[in-house]
Amino acid sequence: MATHAVIVTGGKQYLVKPGDTLKVEKLLAEPKASMSFEPLLVIDGTTAKVGTPKVAGAKVETTIVAHGLGKKIYVETYKSKTRKHRKIGHRQQYTAIKIEKIVG
């Protein structure tokens, strides 16, 4: 049983271990559904398997916990001399996933 793995989702890489819960870019799946990712790297205590680009036969099994919106971020533009300004808010959608086990 592997202890750590590196997965890619939403264009970002995450170092995960069993039992972790993390927020990733929104995935198109229902809550309580299971999903699996093919890892780029698997660390098994003392040895590491590096994929080209993915490790053959390895997978990370996850469960989708919930969907949500992140913290609101404000963006403000301002033009000096004309007193023109604009304030915009944005909340990024995310999916919370729980890492069940790493096989490989």
User: What is the per-residue pLDDT across 7-29, written as a single tens digit (0 to 9) for each?
Assistant: 999 999 999 999 999 999 999 99
Kindly report the CA angle at 15 between 11 and 20, in degrees rounded to 5?
110
User: What is the per-residue pLDDT across 51-64, written as a single tens digit (0 to 9) for each?
Assistant: 888 888 889 999 99
Please state the φ and ψ torsions of residue 82, each to the nearest 5 degrees. Answer: -110, -5
pTM attached to this predicted model: 0.82
The range of the structural domain enclosing residue 63 comes to 4-103
**Model confidence at 1, in pLDDT bands (50, 70, 90)?**
low
